[in-house]
């Protein structure tokens, strides 16, 4: 046994395995895909925009505007609590790895964060979902609308990248300037972060336990949300990275990580839907249609496009924004603020009149097994993932579609 191993001990080595360095993105994708299956088995799959919208509704309810007095209290909202504890889980991961710090970027970046968050809110409310609900969960749910939403995401990312390159060329000073870092956990002076991380972890389990008597589903949403935040932070899991990086730097790691999570989710979701796992008192058809939204095709393509614009400008998707909030990145605090402020406004006042003008044939629930059978739907989604994989790996090697 080496001297280094003797000094740290077995538990110290185990701790370092998880918190001394970042995990491969594909590891994070596989674990997150597995946790998503567990969420579906317990109640329903992972979603983020609904939880962020619940935050916004509770803010407006507190200040007494928009008539949201009857909105679900955060403490009773499954997805509001899931999002909250995803942030807390990321906070715990950042503390235990001594990576937490308040990182304040230049003013222009803060503005872009807020605008990007607002655009994500518009895209999510119009497209009925975000990069998690309409993509990372929607694709495994075998929703035809999820495929259209994904196409919109790709188009939005490409347009936003062109804008960012134009901005760098024409207005290089907009996003430049002085930045600040506070509370960084460097050296022995940062050991407080580990203690704070353990305390936050204990508090999380205490809160989860408080629900165990009357709401066991919420207990597990809290625990799984915390784990999702921690895993996302340790693996740097971010869907905007998966869509953006092949067209910027050519790197494919982020894309492969998301694909791994998608395929694991597809496998588990198909079993749950085909065999009616967890049906209980609800009809099998209701279980099959879980996370198949009435957005095929118009709302999905427009919502995905606008969301793709927003997440690229903000530098974080729905989940990427939340775990970066927990890590202390203030630009993403601005993004989260824009998202939660605009989301209820869009849902109440912007989306309804537009939807009312759309023919019903433009937006309906498209469940792929209804047209292709389960085998055909599974094969189609697998083929899409495989084509994406071949493209990003080929582009990583050739740089054909990369800007740098």
pLDDT at 281: 62
Element (H, E) at 103: strand 102-104
pLDDT at 42: 94
- The residue behind tokens 């962020």 is 52
pLDDT at 3: 47
Closest by Cα among 232, 251, 244, 253 to 325: 232
pLDDT at 7: 47
Note down pLDDT in tens along the chain; length 404 residues. Answer: 444 444 468 988 999 999 999 999 999 999 999 999 999 999 999 999 999 999 999 999 999 999 999 999 999 999 999 999 999 999 999 999 999 999 999 999 999 999 999 999 999 999 999 999 999 999 999 999 999 999 999 999 999 999 999 999 999 999 999 999 999 987 777 889 999 999 999 999 999 999 999 999 999 999 999 999 999 999 999 999 999 999 999 999 999 999 999 999 999 999 999 998 877 666 889 999 999 999 999 999 999 999 999 999 999 999 999 999 999 999 999 999 999 999 999 999 999 999 999 998 999 999 999 999 999 999 999 999 999 999 999 999 999 988 77
Helices (H), 64-106: 78-96
Burial category of 66 from C-beta neighbours within 10 Å (exposed 0-12, middle 13-18, buried 19 and up): middle
pLDDT at 22: 95
Burial category of 211 from C-beta neighbours within 10 Å (exposed 0-12, middle 13-18, buried 19 and up): middle
pLDDT at 186: 79
Tokens of 19: 């918190």
Exposure letters 369-383 (e unless 16+ CB within 10 A, then b): beeeeeeebbebbee
Question: CA 271, 277, 283, 224 torsion: positive or negative?
Answer: negative
The verdict on pTM exceeding 0.85 is: yes
Q: Identify any residues that bridge with 329 across adjacent strands, giving them in sequence order.
A: 103
């Amino acid at each position: 046994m080496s001297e280094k191993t003797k000094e740290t001990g077995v538990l110290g080595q185990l701790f370092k395995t998880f918190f001394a360095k970042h995990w491969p993105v594909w590891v994070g994708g596989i674990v997150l895909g597995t946790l998503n299956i567990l969420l579906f088995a317990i109640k329903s799959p992972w979603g983020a925009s609904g939880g962020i919208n619940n935050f916004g509704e509770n803010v407006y309810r507190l200040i007494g505007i928009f008539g949201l007095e009857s909105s679900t209290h955060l403490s009773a909202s499954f997805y509001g609590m899931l999002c909250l504890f995803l942030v807390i889980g990321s906070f715990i991961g950042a503390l235990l790895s001594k990576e937490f710090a308040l990182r304040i970027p230049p003013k222009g970046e803060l503005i872009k964060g807020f605008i990007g968050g607002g655009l994500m809110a518009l895209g999510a409310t119009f497209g009925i979902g975000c990069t998690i609900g309409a993509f990372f969960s929607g694709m495994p749910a075998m929703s035809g609308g999820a495929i259209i939403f994904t196409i919109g995401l790709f188009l939005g990312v490409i347009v936003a990248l062109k804008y960012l390159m134009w901005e760098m060329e024409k207005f290089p000073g907009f996003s430049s300037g002085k930045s600040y870092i506070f509370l960084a956990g460097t050296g022995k002076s940062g050991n407080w972060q580990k203690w704070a991380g353990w305390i936050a972890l204990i508090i999380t389990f205490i809160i989860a336990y408080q629900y165990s008597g009357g709401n066991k589903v919420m207990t597990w949403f809290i625990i799984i949300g915390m784990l999702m935040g921690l895993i996302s932070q340790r693996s740097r899991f971010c869907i905007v990275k998966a869509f953006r990086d092949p067209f910027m730097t050519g790197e494919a790691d982020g894309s492969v990580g998301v694909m791994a999570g998608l395929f694991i989710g597809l496998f588990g979701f198909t079993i749950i839907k085909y065999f009616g796992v967890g049906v209980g008192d609800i009809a099998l058809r209701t279980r099959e249609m879980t996370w198949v939204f009435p957005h095929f095709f118009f709302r999905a393509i427009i919502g995905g496009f606008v969301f793709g614009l927003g997440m690229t400008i903000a530098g974080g998707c729905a989940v990427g924004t939340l775990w970066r909030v927990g890590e202390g990145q203030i630009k993403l605090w601005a993004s989260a603020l824009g998202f939660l402020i605009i989301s209820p406004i869009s849902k109440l006042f912007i989306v309804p009149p537009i939807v009312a003008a759309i023919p019903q044939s433009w937006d309906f629930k498209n469940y792929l097994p209804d047209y292709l059978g389960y085998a055909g739907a599974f094969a189609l989604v697998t083929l899409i993932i495989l084509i994406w994989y071949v493209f990003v790996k080929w582009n990583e090697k050739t740089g054909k579609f990369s800007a740098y």
